[in-house]
A and B are shown apart, each in its own frame.
Chain A
């Protein structure tokens, strides 16, 4: 394991009967980085994380963590990790402070509970019962429980799923803050914008295998110098759509949404407007953007991340 590598996974496998939840994946996570497992539901992200968190045991494979090669995640490793589960619950009749005090008691060197409360902005809710918290507050409490031991390695499993945009942004800023403090973070998400915003490196999973890996920029650059043009049309079955072939070499139609990939944006746009005038097809909701991880996944699998 390299000097700057905190975690390495080699040929990890976990099967449930005929289902290959994780099928021989391998990756490395650099110290003080944000590493993201990106993929649709059922890709194997959570299973991979649960093996690394110590909830499940792998059928086979090697895990090197904190400079040690281990068969399974031990209690001494758990002393140094923090886990934000995708769907863990709390005792509804305990108070916020009691929950954090309880979790702090499981560790050898916990942080003061008041410090955690402040860090996750729950000081005012310290005496509130868990059952009275909002979704965003619950997620902050879960994050507080994950950080109570001041962990070196933090697992965040779908940390913003189900949160409103404001709460999602708050969570992003917490992750950025943790990274600034030198923590290593392994994140799973199916939000490509989240992966792009937070990640130092991304591993795209599908059907239990890794289909692409690299920094967000490296992955999107696999598209070359292409630019994406998107617009909507009222009637995708119109004959006029056939004429689009003359101005755009690569385009996809998904319902009423048309996505065009081009290396020559200026020419493509001129031809698109000409086609629109000629065929009298308005280009609704027209946007021009750079390729993102969604496009990478789409080009690799033919499916969207959230399908």
Chain B
């Protein structure tokens, strides 16, 4: 046992003392976290952004002399026109044509919203005008129905929704004030429908922090593990171990404990940075989040062993890691939604354990609802771990070839 712990300590000490490892292990993910939080954390400041907005008017039959639905629609249209001095319009509107099937258009807009191409979709529901008109005559106790679809996977969506609520409140007040019947109790009540969310707003840093932690684990496993093993093999460090009673399984146990300790350290440092420097409030204190973080660390550790087993030299291992790095990182849903990808790229997404771990972790933190089932979230990474371990146990050479 002492030997295993000493191997683990040696692995941690080496990683912390080596500048290149330290950079990729801590500086790089911290840098990415700060960069993303600074750039995207301030999205939506006045004059900086135009929201893509889907607008559908289902209330085509006006019951009274005034088409209230048309007033709302017109208000959004006016906000979609350039402002004074050619200022960027607040919204870019997407509306169905006269001959378009409204329900099919709504479906396509909701798909666009899920893919991150819309900040929100506003639907003026059928009966909206009646409800408003009724509020004039007190004939109806129903409030006017207007649905706003949004998603937390797109930070712009949250900001757009807040603006829409303010716009609608202004429209509501204007309609009622004109009729001399402004009544807060009868105001238009926007119904917010959250897609894939718990209904709570999520600051961007909370959204991105789990992704950065996973990215750190990923880079640590993909580059750090084969780097350490192949370097030690090529430099014949491992040979010194094999002439002692230390066995390969004990070495692996020590190495793995050291690697997981590094991942733990990485998690703590990134979490502290996110919480105290960038104001993150997301809590990882749940068994499911802990399990997924551990699963992620072990999955990428196994991937590292797989790469080490397939490479003949350190350079070869690093090249293989580089080849896998980009497609795995970007075809995982870490940085953008995956639904709109071409079929062959989606195959990579569905084979990529990072896709399941990213969604699973965000879901366990209440940031996002996963499209994958719990079985898939656990099963696919576990399958990769099993496959990697089997291949590595067959292929991994612990000594230089003669």
Q: Give the contacts of A70-86 with B (CB-CB under 8 A).
A: 75-76, 78-79, 81, 83, 85
- Contact present for B240 and A107 (CB under 8 Å): no
A89 contact from B3, B7, B235, B245, Cβ within 8 A: B235
- Contact present for B236 and A94 (CB under 8 Å): no
- Contact present for B237 and A91 (CB under 8 Å): yes
Complex-state Cα separation, A145 to B236, whole angstroms = 14
- Contact present for B243 and A55 (CB under 8 Å): yes
Q: For A108, list chain B residues within 8 Å (CB).
A: 245
Q: For B237, list chain A residues within 8 Å (CB).
A: 88-91
Residue B181 at the A interface, CB < 8 A? Answer: no
- Contact present for A106 and B14 (CB under 8 Å): no
- Contact present for A98 and B243 (CB under 8 Å): no
Q: How far is the CB of B54 from chain A (nearest CB, A)?
A: 56
- Contact present for B6 and A105 (CB under 8 Å): yes
Complex-state Cα separation, A98 to B3, whole angstroms = 12
- Contact present for A93 and B239 (CB under 8 Å): no
- Contact present for B399 and A55 (CB under 8 Å): yes
Complex-state Cα separation, A54 to B247, whole angstroms = 11
Give chain B's interface secondary structure class: helix
Question: A-facing mask of B225-250, CB < 8 A → 1, else 0?
Answer: 00000001001110111111111000
Residue A9 at the B interface, CB < 8 A? Answer: no
A95: nearest chain-B partner, CB-CB: B13
Residue B10 at the A interface, CB < 8 A? Answer: yes
Q: For B178, list chain A residues within 8 Å (CB).
A: none
Q: For A142, list chain B residues within 8 Å (CB).
A: 240
- Contact present for A87 and B236 (CB under 8 Å): yes
Complex-state Cα separation, A101 to B3, whole angstroms = 9
Q: Give the contacts of A148-189 with B (CB-CB under 8 A).
A: 149, 155
- Contact present for A55 and B239 (CB under 8 Å): yes
- Contact present for A105 and B13 (CB under 8 Å): no
A103 contact from B17, B239, B244, B402, Cβ within 8 A: B244
Q: How far is the CB of B239 from chain A (nearest CB, A)?
A: 5
- Contact present for A85 and B10 (CB under 8 Å): no
Residue A287 at the B interface, CB < 8 A? Answer: no
Residue B2 at the A interface, CB < 8 A? Answer: yes
B402 contact from A16, A53, A81, A89, Cβ within 8 A: A16
A146: nearest chain-B partner, CB-CB: B243
Complex-state Cα separation, A79 to B244, whole angstroms = 7
B6: nearest chain-A partner, CB-CB: A105
Residue A102 at the B interface, CB < 8 A? Answer: yes
Q: For B244, list chain A residues within 8 Å (CB).
A: 78, 83, 103, 106-107, 149
- Contact present for B240 and A89 (CB under 8 Å): yes
Q: For A78, list chain B residues within 8 Å (CB).
A: 243-245
- If A16-B402, A101-B6, A106-B3 touch, whether A89 touches B243 (CB-CB below 8 Å) is no
Q: For A85, list chain B residues within 8 Å (CB).
A: 236, 239-240, 243
A78: nearest chain-B partner, CB-CB: B245
A53: nearest chain-B partner, CB-CB: B243
Q: How far is the CB of B361 from chain A (nearest CB, A)?
A: 32
Q: How far is the CB of B13 from chain A (nearest CB, A)?
A: 6
Q: For A55, list chain B residues within 8 Å (CB).
A: 239, 242-243, 399
Question: B-facing mask of A82-124, CB < 8 A → 1, else 0?
Answer: 0101011111011000100111011110000000000000000
B13 contact from A76, A81, A94, A106, Cβ within 8 A: A94
B242 contact from A54, A101, A105, A145, Cβ within 8 A: A54
Q: For A94, list chain B residues within 8 Å (CB).
A: 10, 13-14
Complex-state Cα separation, A100 to B5, whole angstroms = 14
Q: For B6, list chain A residues within 8 Å (CB).
A: 101-102, 105
Q: How far is the CB of B89 from chain A (nearest CB, A)?
A: 57
Q: Give the contacts of A124-152 with B (CB-CB under 8 A).
A: 129, 142, 145, 149
- Contact present for A91 and B243 (CB under 8 Å): no
Complex-state Cα separation, A98 to B240, whole angstroms = 15
Q: How far is the CB of B400 from chain A (nearest CB, A)?
A: 9
B243 contact from A16, A54, A105, Cβ within 8 A: A54
Complex-state Cα separation, A55 to B2, whole angstroms = 23
Q: How far is the CB of B333 from chain A (nearest CB, A)?
A: 36
Residue B46 at the A interface, CB < 8 A? Answer: no
Q: For B399, list chain A residues within 8 Å (CB).
A: 55
Q: For B236, list chain A residues within 8 Å (CB).
A: 85, 87-89
Q: For A76, list chain B residues within 8 Å (CB).
A: 245
- Contact present for B402 and A106 (CB under 8 Å): no
Complex-state Cα separation, A145 to B239, whole angstroms = 13
Q: For A98, list chain B residues within 8 Å (CB).
A: 10, 13
B240: nearest chain-A partner, CB-CB: A88
A157: nearest chain-B partner, CB-CB: B243
Q: For A54, list chain B residues within 8 Å (CB).
A: 242-243
Complex-state Cα separation, A82 to B290, whole angstroms = 43
- Contact present for A93 and B240 (CB under 8 Å): no
Q: How far is the CB of B240 from chain A (nearest CB, A)?
A: 4
A93 contact from B3, B18, B235, B241, Cβ within 8 A: B18
Q: How far is the CB of B187 from chain A (nearest CB, A)?
A: 66
- Contact present for A91 and B232 (CB under 8 Å): yes
Q: For A88, list chain B residues within 8 Å (CB).
A: 236-237, 239-240
Complex-state Cα separation, A88 to B10, whole angstroms = 17
Q: For A75, list chain B residues within 8 Å (CB).
A: 245, 247
Complex-state Cα separation, A81 to B14, whole angstroms = 28
- Contact present for B239 and A79 (CB under 8 Å): no
Question: A-facing mask of B378-392, CB < 8 A → 1, else 0?
Answer: 000000000000000
B14: nearest chain-A partner, CB-CB: A93
Q: For A105, list chain B residues within 8 Å (CB).
A: 2-3, 5-6
Q: For B247, list chain A residues within 8 Å (CB).
A: 75
Question: A-facing mask of B10-21, CB < 8 A → 1, else 0?
Answer: 100110011000
- If A16-B402, A55-B399, A94-B13 touch, whether A106 touches B232 (CB-CB below 8 Å) is no
Q: How far is the CB of A224 from chain B (nearest CB, A)?
A: 40
12 additional A-B residue pairs with CB within 8 Å, beyond A76-B245, A107-B244, A107-B245: A55-B242, A75-B245, A78-B243, A78-B244, A83-B243, A85-B240, A85-B243, A87-B239, A88-B236, A93-B14, A94-B14, A98-B10
The 8 closest A-B pairs by CB, nearest first: A83-B243, A89-B235, A105-B6, A93-B17, A75-B245, A106-B244, A88-B240, A106-B246
Pull 8 A–B residue pairs with CB atoms less than 8 Å apart, ordered by A.
Answer: A55-B243, A55-B399, A75-B245, A85-B236, A93-B13, A93-B18, A101-B6, A155-B243
